[in-house]
Amino acid sequence: MNLLITAGPTREAIDPVRYLSNRSSGRMGYALAQAALEAGHGVTLISGPVSIPAPVGAQVVRVESAQDMYEAVRSHLASQDAAIFAAAVADYRPAQVAGQKIKKASEQLTLQLERTPDILGSARAVFGFQGVLVGFAAETEDLLAHAQEKLHRKGCDLLIANDVSRPGTGFDSEENEVTLLFPNAAPRPLPRGPKTAIAREIIRLVSGLRRPPSIP
Ligand code: C5P
């Protein structure tokens, strides 16, 4: 199979030297890319800025902002059998990017933010992607209810839900504890474990979810 994986955070520029971002390390997405390569799949890894090495054998496309990631996904999605959206994409970006470094002139500074494009939400609705679609949902409350809603709204075949309010798992850690949600099957919790082990299990499942080619 050919797999596209998004990973890492995005950076949304405020001015030439500052940005908004988040605590994503990219480890989950990179572990998925590594597991997919070990299973013999072709991997296109669309990555925000991270400090971990890229898995050998992946085609890596480096991006900064949510808009860059959106455009990279749009240009690489058509040839994929499956797409896994593990990136922690910023939901908002500064509505205006200052051309020069903002000076500390007043006591308070208000930043106006606007929504970034929803890349996963565009896969089916805008890009017309027909392959296996996998999303992540990081939540701090009502995990399964929110994740179930996201699974259906974004047209996913699998959604991986993780509770980021628990210490030691999720963002910027080596371990994760996730529940797998499917459109027509009961939720399946996976035991807490290293992201590498969870990634292997997700790749095994994604290979099994492969959709039959659509009849023209
Ligand atoms: O709605 P929420 O941001 O929680 O959805 C999370 C899922 O959507 C993740 O799979 C994430 O990679 C993806 N996402 C995206 N583009 C965005 C926001 C989230 O692809 N702008």
User: What does the pLDDT look like over 16-38, one tens digit per residue?
Assistant: 999 999 999 999 999 999 999 99
- The rounded distance, in Å, linking the Cα atoms of 144 and 163 is 9
Q: Going by CA atoms, what residue is nearest to atom 19 of ligand 1? A: 89
The pLDDT, as a whole number, for residue 164 is 82
Is the predicted pLDDT of residue 216 greater than 60, yes or no? no
CA of 108 to the centre of ligand 1 (A): 31
Task: State the alpha helices, DSSP H only, in 77-194.
Answer: 119-125, 143-153
The pLDDT, as a whole number, for residue 167 is 72
The pLDDT, as a whole number, for residue 169 is 63
* Mean predicted lDDT score pLDDT of the chain: 93
Q: Helix 27-38 and helix 195-208: axis angle, to 10°?
A: 50
Kindly report, residue by residue over 145-199, the tens digit of the pLDDT.
Answer: 999 999 999 999 999 998 888 776 666 677 888 999 999 999 999 999 998 999 9
* Domain range list for the chain: 2-92+111-208
Q: Ligand 1 pocket: which of 24, 45, 89, 150 to mutate (most atoms <8 Å of CB)?
A: 89
Is the predicted pLDDT of residue 144 greater than 60, yes or no? yes
Kindly report, residue by residue over 33-82, the tens digit of the pLDDT.
Answer: 999 999 999 999 999 999 999 999 999 999 999 999 999 999 999 999 99
Mean pLDDT of all residues in 83-108: 96
Phi, psi of 100 (to 5 degrees): -125, 160
- Please give the share of the chain, as a percent, with pLDDT higher than 90: 85
Query: Could you tell me if 132 and 100 are in contact, meaning their C-beta atoms sit under 8 angstroms apart?
Result: no
User: Does the predicted TM-score (pTM) go above 0.85?
Assistant: yes
Fold of 2-92+111-208: Rossmann fold (3.40.50)
Q: Ligand 1 pocket: which of 115, 120, 127 to mutate (most atoms <8 Å of CB)?
A: 120
Amino acid at 147: A
Is the predicted pLDDT of residue 128 greater than 80, yes or no? yes
Give pairs for 162-170: CB < 8 Å, separation 24+.
162/136, 162/137, 162/138, 163/139, 164/138, 164/139, 164/140, 165/140, 165/141, 170/138
Is the predicted pLDDT of residue 114 greater than 90, yes or no? yes
- Note the maximum CA span of the chain: 62
